Structure 1
Amino acid sequence: MKTLKATLIILILIVATANSDAQILKNIGDKAKQKVMQRGENKVDQGIDKGLDGIEEEMRRKDQNDNKETPIEDHNTTVSNENFTYNSKYDFIPGETLLAVEDFSQEEIGNFPGRWQTNATAEIVSLNDSDGTWLKINKEGVFYPEFIADLPQNFTLEFDLGVNKNWYGSYLAVNIAKLNSPTDYLDYYHYVNWKGNYAIHLQFKPAITDRFSGMSKLQASYDGNYIISNDVEFNVWNNTDRNIAHISLWRQEQRLRVYLNGEKIWDLPKAFDATSDFNGITFAQYASNQPDDFFLLSNIKLAVGKADTRNKLISEGKFVTHGILFDVNSDRIKPQSEGILKEIASIMKDNKDYKYHIIGHTDADGDDRSNLLLSERRAISVKNYLVDKFGIPSENLDIEGKGESELLDRSNTPESKALNRRVEFIKL
Structure 2
Amino acid sequence: MKWFIRISIASLLFLIYTIPVHSQLIKDLQKRAEWKLKQKANQKVDDAIGKTVDGKPKNKETSAKENDKSKKKAGDPDKTEEKETGAVTDSKGTSTKSFKSYSKFDFVAGEKLVVYEDFSKDAVGDFPLHWNTNAGGEVVTVEGSDVRWLKLPKEGVFHPEFIKDLPENFTLEFDLICTNPFSFYSTALMVNMVQLNEPSEFENWGRFIRSGNKGARFSIHPTSAGNGSGRLEFFWIENRKESMKNEVDVSQFHAKTDNIAHISMWRQNQRMRIYVDEEKVFDLPKAIPPSTKLNALLFTLGGYHDKADHYLISGLRLAVGAPDTRHKLINEGKYSTTGILFDVNSDKIKPESYGTLKDLASVLKENGVVKVKVIGHTDSDGDAGNNMELSKKRASAVKASLVNDFGIEAGRIETDGKGASQPVGDNAKAEGKAQNRRVEFLKQ
* TM-score where L is the length of structure 1: 0.78
Distance 1:209 1:321, change over 3 A: farther
Aligned to 1:337: 353
Question: How far did 1:372 drift?
Answer: 0.8
Question: How far did 1:287 drift?
Answer: 4.1
Aligned to 1:135: 150
Distance 1:216 1:208, change over 3 A: closer
Deviations 1:201-258 (A, max 9, x none): 1111124797242101111122034443432111111023763211111111111111
> Equivalent of 2:114, from 90, 99, 124?
99
Aligned to 1:406: 422
Distance 1:225 1:111, change over 3 A: closer
403-412 or 118-127, which moves further after superposition?
Answer: 403-412
Contact 1:203 1:216 in 2 (8 A): yes
> Do structure 1's residue 219 and structure 2's residue 238 form an aligned pair?
no
Question: How far apart are the structure 2 equivalents of 1:253 and 1:343?
Answer: 20
112-121 or 180-189, which moves further after superposition?
Answer: 180-189
Question: How far did 1:189 drift?
Answer: 1.6
Aligned to 2:140: 125
* Structure 1 counterpart SS, 2:192: strand
Question: How far did 1:334 drift?
Answer: 1.0
Question: How far apart are the structure 1 equivalents of 2:105 and 2:154?
Answer: 34
* Structure 1 counterpart SS, 2:354: helix
* Structure 1 counterpart SS, 2:199: coil
Aligned to 2:253: 237
> Do structure 1's residue 165 and structure 2's residue 184 form an aligned pair?
no
Contact 2:177 2:256 in 1 (8 A): no
284-293 or 313-322, which moves further after superposition?
Answer: 284-293
Deviations 1:355-398 (A, max 9, x none): 21110000001110111111111111111111111111112111
Aligned to 1:369: 385
Contact 1:206 1:243 in 2 (8 A): no
Question: How far did 1:167 drift?
Answer: 2.6
The percentage of aligned residue pairs carrying the same residue is 44
Question: How far apart are the structure 2 equivalents of 1:241 and 1:111?
Answer: 21
* TM-score where L is the length of structure 2: 0.75
Contact 2:105 2:279 in 1 (8 A): yes
Q: Structure 2: which 5+ residue stretches go unaligned? A: 1-77, 79-87, 89-95
Larger radius of gyration: 1
Deviations 1:106-141 (A, max 9, x none): 111111100000011111111111120100111211
Question: How far apart are the structure 1 equivalents of 2:302 and 2:366?
Answer: 49
- The structure 1 segments of at least 4 consecutive aligned residues displaced by more than 4 Å after TM superposition are none
Q: Higher helix fraction: Structure 1 or Structure 2? A: 1
Aligned to 2:58: none
> Do structure 1's residue 384 and structure 2's residue 384 form an aligned pair?
no
Question: How far apart are the structure 1 equivalents of 2:196 and 2:257?
Answer: 38
Q: Once superposed, what is the RMSD of the aligned Cα atoms?
A: 2.0
Contact 2:154 2:305 in 1 (8 A): no
Aligned to 1:194: 211
Question: How far apart are the structure 2 equivalents of 1:383 and 1:325?
Answer: 14
